[in-house]
């Protein structure tokens, strides 16, 4: 039995850090284990321009604990008014690594997103030319479509046509949750990759309703049937370079989740690596953890792996983590539903 594992320092290719008091409270949780993270731009108002991203990046750097070794990689929030020249300048600056497509109304703070993908063709053409990745929230927003079918429908009606129209565009299907999504990526080429979250490797849709409604397991895309979770586990542990970690750690203050109309988002930055080590051990795939968390993501984004390492050691079960305290209130940490025995040393 493996009881210790050393891997290159991991990266998180999809994280929400928010701003202000929440940023200050959650950033140390991400910076503790991850060398870099791709920062989602869905603030209110969203981070649309290079100027917005630069200012947000400085607020992140300013909120970093003393001595932290962490690099934020920024994204731009795509709107129907996005200026292709600004996108090009952002990529050339080296500070912005991707553009994020939110179908308007798909998730938290997505009202300024794209209603009709045909209205952003010029930007997508420029991105194809310069090789800049498009990160996609892959769900249709039609309320007539069942919430559990929205990703599969998006693949058929939006992603597949988009791939045909822009074969040179590099796309990441963010937080893939379905067998259909996994297979679509597997059957594509190296221009299409997918991130997988920690919680979607652990939860299936029954967990949201186990013994009562569990607001801290509500996120978008929503967790699917166990057979989809199994497909995600196979993809994550396969070593296929097109699947890598994006935690989608998405903090919301507890009162906004434990409410009659709770927000979508699961906060997992604090214990993601311990959760993943257990999942990979359960899948007899611990040697594949490094590719998933530390190698395949940088390879897709054209970056070298982080220089440092991280060591995981199997020990006694750790006590569950207390909620993160922010000046605005507490944020509950993801409960994987099993004891965490992997201790993370940096």
Minimum CB separation from ligand NCD for residue 106, in Å? 7
Residue 281 in the binding site for ligand NCD (CB under 6 A): no
User: Which residue out of 12, 86, 240, 248 is catalytically annotated?
Assistant: 248
* Closer of 42 and 178 to ligand NCD (Cβ): 42
248 part of the active site: yes
Pick one of Zn ion, ligand NCD, none as the site partner of residue 33 (Cβ within 5 to 8 A by kind).
none
Pick one of Zn ion, ligand NCD, none as the site partner of residue 53 (Cβ within 5 to 8 A by kind).
none
C-alpha separations of 183 from 53, 61, 83 in Å? 33, 38, 33
Identify which of 51, 55, 53 has the alpha carbon closest to the alpha carbon of residue 39.
53
Pick one of ligand NCD, Zn ion, none as the site partner of residue 186 (Cβ within 5 to 8 A by kind).
none
Identify which of 318, 220, 228 has the alpha carbon closest to the alpha carbon of residue 278.
318
Minimum CB separation from ligand NCD for residue 251, in Å? 8
Among 220, 279, 285, 333, binds ligand NCD (CB under 6 A): 220
Pick one of Zn ion, ligand NCD, none as the site partner of residue 137 (Cβ within 5 to 8 A by kind).
ligand NCD
CB 343 within 8 A of CB 317: no
Burial category of 99 from C-beta neighbours within 10 Å (exposed 0-12, middle 13-18, buried 19 and up): buried
CA gyration radius for the chain? 19
CB 330 within 8 A of CB 323: yes
Identify which of 220, 222, 218 has the alpha carbon closest to the alpha carbon of residue 256.
218
The end-to-end CA distance of the chain, in Å, is 22
Among 52, 139, 248, 254, binds Zn ion (CB under 5 A): 248
Give the H/E segment covering residue 226. helix 226-236
Among 8, 30, 42, 332, binds ligand NCD (CB under 6 A): 42
Residue 108 in the binding site for ligand NCD (CB under 6 A): yes
* Closer of 265 and 305 to ligand NCD (Cβ): 265
- Look at strands 243-245 and 4-8 and give their pairing: unpaired
Using DSSP, state whether 248 is helix, strand or coil: coil
| Residue ranges binding Zn ion (CB under 5 A) | 248
| Residue ranges binding ligand NCD (CB under 6 A) | 16, 42, 107-108, 137, 219-220, 248, 250, 264-265
Residues belonging to the active site: 248
């Amino acid at each position: 039995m493996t009881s210790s594992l050393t891997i290159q320092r991991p990266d998180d290719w999809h994280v929400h850090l928010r701003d202000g008091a929440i940023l200050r409270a959650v950033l140390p949780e991400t910076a503790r284990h991850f060398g870099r993270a791709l920062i989602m731009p869905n603030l209110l108002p969203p981070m649309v321009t290079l100027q917005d991203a630069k200012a947000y990046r400085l607020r992140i750097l300013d909120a970093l604990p003393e001595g932290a070794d962490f690099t934020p990689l920024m994204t731009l929030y795509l709107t129907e008014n996005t200026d292709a020249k600004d996108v090009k300048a952002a990529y050339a600056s080296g500070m912005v690594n991707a553009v994020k497509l939110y179908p308007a109304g798909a998730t938290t703070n997505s009202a300024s997103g794209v209603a009709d993908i045909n209205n952003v063709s010029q930007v997508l053409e420029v991105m194809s030319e310069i090789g800049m990745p498009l990160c996609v929230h892959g769900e249709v927003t039609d309320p007539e479509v069942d919430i559990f079918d929205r990703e599969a429908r998006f693949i058929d009606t939006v992603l597949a046509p988009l791939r045909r129209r822009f074969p040179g565009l590099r796309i990441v299907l963010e937080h893939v949750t379905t067998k259909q999504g996994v297979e679509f990526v597997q059957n594509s080429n190296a221009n299409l990759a997918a991130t997988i979250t920690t919680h979607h490797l652990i939860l299936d849709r029954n967990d949201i309703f186990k013994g009562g409604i569990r607001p801290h397991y509500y996120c978008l895309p929503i967790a699917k049937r166990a057979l989809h979770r199994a497909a995600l586990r196979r993809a994550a542990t396969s070593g296929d370079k097109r699947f890598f970690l994006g935690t989608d750690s998405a903090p919301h203050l507890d009162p906004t989740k434990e409410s009659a109309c709770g927000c979508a988002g699961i906060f997992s930055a604090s214990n993601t690596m311990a959760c993943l080590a257990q999942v990979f051990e359960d899948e007899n795939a611990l040697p594949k953890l490094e590719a998933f968390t530390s190698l395949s993501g940088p390879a897709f984004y054209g970056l070298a792996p982080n220089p440092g390492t991280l060591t995981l050691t199997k020990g006694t079960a750790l006590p569950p983590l207390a909620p993160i305290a922010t000046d605005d209130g507490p944020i509950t940490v993801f409960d994987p539903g099993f004891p965490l025995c992997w201790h993370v040393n940096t």
